[in-house]
Amino acid sequence: DSGNRWFDKAVSLIVFEDGTAGINVEHCELDGTTILGFTDALLSGTRLERAPADGIPASEVIEFVLGDALREDARAAAASFAAYADATATKTVSFTDFGAKRAKELGMSPDGFAQMAYQLAHKRAKGITGATYESIATRQYRNGRTEAMRVVTPEVLWFVRVMNDPSADRQTRQAAFRAAAAKHVTRAKECQAGDAPE
């Protein structure tokens, strides 16, 4: 019920009475690849590089003593969180007639295809092109993390403009789409190599 997690902490290890365990990560402070590296190190049984030379740091049991005021604060926080969760709507949409396989058959990057669809949908829904980014892993570097790839390029702006131009013919729209998706792939490779535009 989300009551056993510390959402204000960067990393929470959750261990239940039966021995099962999990991890909860607050993403604002840490990249996903950083947490995966941390988790891999924990599960491997090897010590982290930066562990103290004299062994594992000392730990201390924390005892929580709750008076009436703190119990009431906890109840109010639980009620507030439940109301927030109830007011949040999520809907999953499945496409059974189109996917990554079809995009590849068309000679397109599935990621490039999806990103162009997002850009066009955002322009049509909101009237503007959003300054969006995509997380790109830099795994080839030791302890590689992520790069924030800026999705909007001149090619994307041209694609969106052409798609919203009623006088544009099919060939012009296809050319704009392919150019924008190809630029997306090129930029992703630049970011993976540490050569991000910014």
Active-site residues, by number, are: 27
DSSP single-letter state for residue 46? P
Question: Which of 163, 195, 158, 196 is closest to 179 using CA atoms?
Answer: 158
Rounded Cα gap, residues 9 and 30, in angstroms: 11
Rounded Cα gap, residues 161 and 163, in angstroms: 6
Backbone angles phi, psi at 150, to 5 degrees: -80, 120
How would you classify residue 194: left for phi > 0, otherwise alpha for psi between -120 and 50, otherwise beta? Answer: left
